[in-house]
C-alpha cells in the first residue's frame, strides 16, 4: 500500500481502500471553499492552487497521515479519512470510513468490525 494508508487487519476483508485529505482552502480572492484530494498514492506534498489541492514535490517525510506541503499555509480544518468497501459478517459489503487525522501507526489495530472501520 502507500504511506498514507495505515496497516491493519481490516485489509484482509476490505477492498477499494483509499485515504482522502479534506480541508477548507483559501482562494486568491480570499474566499474559502471546501477542498479535498485523494492522497492514497501521493508521493510528495500538496499545494493549494486557488482552492484546489494539487500534488507538489516535497522531499520532507510526512509524519502520520497528513502530507507536508505549502497548502498548510492556506488550508484549515485539515482531516485525513480512510475509506474502504468492507465485508460484513453476513457476507454483504458496505462503505465505511474512519478519521485517521490523529491516528499514530501502532496505536492499535485498524479492524473491520462487521463492516465498520474501528481502532482496537
Averaged pLDDT in 10-residue chunks for the chain of 120 residues: 89 97 97 97 93 87 84 96 98 98 91 97
What is the Cα–Cα distance from 120 to 116, expressed in whole angstroms? 12
The DSSP letter of residue 57 is -
**pLDDT value for 63:** 73
> What are the DSSP E strand ranges found in the chain?
14-26, 32-38, 45-49, 52-56, 75-87, 93-99, 110-113, 116-119
Which residue is it, cell 482531516? Answer: 79
66 near 3, Cβ under 8 Å? no
Q: What is the pLDDT of residue 34?
A: 97
Amino acid at each position: 500500500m502507500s504511506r498514507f494508508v495505515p496497516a491493519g487487519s481490516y485489509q484482509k476483508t476490505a477492498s477499494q481502500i483509499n485515504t482522502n485529505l479534506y480541508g477548507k482552502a483559501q482562494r486568491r480572492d480570499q474566499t474559502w471553499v471546501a477542498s479535498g484530494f485523494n492522497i492514497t498514492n501521493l508521493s510528495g506534498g500538496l499545494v493549494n492552487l486557488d482552492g484546489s489541492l494539487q500534488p507538489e514535490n516535497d522531499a520532507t517525510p510526512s509524519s502520520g497521515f497528513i502530507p507536508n506541503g505549502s497548502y498548510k499555509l492556506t488550508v484549515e480544518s485539515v482531516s485525513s479519512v480512510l475509506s474502504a468497501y468492507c465485508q460484513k459478517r453476513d457476507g454483504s459489503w458496505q462503505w465505511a470510513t474512519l478519521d485517521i487525522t490523529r491516528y499514530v501507526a501502532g496505536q492499535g489495530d485498524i479492524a473491520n468490525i462487521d463492516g465498520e472501520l474501528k481502532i482496537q
